[in-house]
Amino acid sequence: MIKPHGSDTLNPLYVDDSRANQSLLDDAQSMPSVLMSSAGAANAVMLGAGYFNPLTGYMNRTDALSVANTMHTSSGLFWPTPVLCLVDGAGALETGTQVALRDPNVDGNPVIAVLDLEAVEHLDDDDMSLISEKIYRTEDLEHPGVAEFYAQGRSLLSGPIKVLNFSYFKTDFADTFRTAVQIREQIEASGWNKVVAFQTRNPMHLAHEELCRIAMERVGADGCVIHMLLGKLKPGDIPADVRDAAIRKMVELYFPKNTVMITGYGFDMLYAGPREAVLHAVFRQNMGATHFIIGRDHAGVGDYYGDFDAQTIFDQEVPDGALEIEIFRADHTAWSKKLSKVVMMREAPDHSKEDFVLLSGTKVREMLGQGIAPPPEFSRPEVAQILMDYYQSL
């Protein structure tokens, strides 16, 4: 099986021993505590689940700026985005102590992790500007990722952490949320060697479904892991539970058994385009995938990134050998009226735009809201029904 990023074995930060977990949770009640941002809590989940291997906790200012500038920590580890615990004021927290980190996304704000506090630092305007420009390629607060980054606060807490739970993801998405450890175990149990990973924050239409097939066939994969984001999205995106139901129906009806694994991970979308695509590749390697599909405007939003910037970053900015996972570069996929099948548009040079079934997201949402199913060349009818039920319930 493919090695994790940066180490020979996966080192998740979740305290798996139940007695040790409870003991640390008991101790945490008398520790100074801080209420995290949703993004900070999501980072804790990813660290606990092994997706952010080999990191041992939250980055300090030096590492955050180094990662933003060079995609390497100060020690030389390749890493594409800062992993931060930003809070709105650190109060009287003292370095060298343990701090209970509280979850903003669960009622009662339970302790999600314990931080061995190594530094309390402040990100000034120049720091925030640099990170925003390098990671998001913009400082525009209309960009949802930039807005969330600036809303977290300026006090930066850093140091190793021990993770005590997986927030709401394990309870709300019991059938879908999986740690990197669990996915590796399932891949091994399935006897898969080559594994394609597909990232999604949306329901999968026919073109997405076919793209998974195309990738599997071309790389000779034994299976595909559909790995959906379960955390916070921007307003207007379809909730994770609806997306989950739609994807499960598609796989149940249209894929052979034991060829597709449906899983999810607990992270908030950054909408950071190219940099987030590289982060996605890192944690797909950590979960055991050998190949990762990156298509048009991967992890993008609005018009902030070029259509294929998330692919070219691997050629222009990711050093050779930095990652073992291979990137499957996909074009926009759509139904060809000429060929009566889904194709990647770049592979149909004799086609004009009118030869494809193309629907904008706005148009699809309007149709679903009116109880009108998109054409079968765009969406499976069973999937469309789930989405129509959702939109008509709004």
Per-residue pLDDT tens over the stretch 147-177: 999 999 999 999 999 999 999 999 999 999 9
Selecting among 61, 109, 202, 213, the annotated active-site residue is 202
Mean pLDDT of 178-197: 98
- Supply the pTM of this predicted model: 0.96
> How is domain 171-265+271-393 classified at the architecture level of CATH?
3-Layer(aba) Sandwich (3.40)
Assess whether 243 carries a catalytic annotation: no
Token pair of 283 as six digits? 């944690």
Q: How do residues 129-155 score in pLDDT, each as one tens digit?
A: 999 999 999 999 999 999 999 999 999
10-24, 60-74, 233-247, range with the lowest pLDDT: 233-247
Q: How do residues 102-120 score in pLDDT, each as one tens digit?
A: 999 999 999 999 999 999 9
CA 297 vs. chain centroid, Å, equals 15
Selecting among 61, 154, 201, 213, the annotated active-site residue is 201
For residue 171, the model assigns a pLDDT of 94
Q: Is the pLDDT of residue 98 over 90?
A: yes
For residue 236, the model assigns a pLDDT of 80
Q: Is the pLDDT of residue 126 over 90?
A: yes
> How is domain 18-167 classified at the architecture level of CATH?
Roll (3.10)
Residues 6+ apart with CB under 8 A from 306: none
For residue 233, the model assigns a pLDDT of 81
Q: Is the pLDDT of residue 242 over 90?
A: yes
Q: Among positive and negative, which fits the CA dihedral 13, 15, 20, 23? A: positive
Q: Is the pLDDT of residue 31 over 90?
A: yes
Q: How do residues 303-362 score in pLDDT, each as one tens digit?
A: 999 999 999 999 999 999 999 999 999 999 999 999 999 999 999 999 999 999 998 888
Mean pLDDT of 199-209: 93
CA–CA distance, 369 with 146 (Å, rounded to integer): 30
Q: Is the pLDDT of residue 92 over 90?
A: no
Token pair of 214 as six digits? 């195309």
Q: Is the pLDDT of residue 89 over 90?
A: no
Domain boundaries, the chain: 18-167, 171-265+271-393
For residue 237, the model assigns a pLDDT of 83
Assess whether 105 carries a catalytic annotation: no
Q: Is the pLDDT of residue 35 over 90?
A: yes
Give residue 50's pLDDT band: very low, low, confident or very high (50, 70, 90): very high
Mean pLDDT of 45-65: 98
- Whether the Cβ atoms of residue 298 and residue 199 lie closer than 8 Å to each other: yes
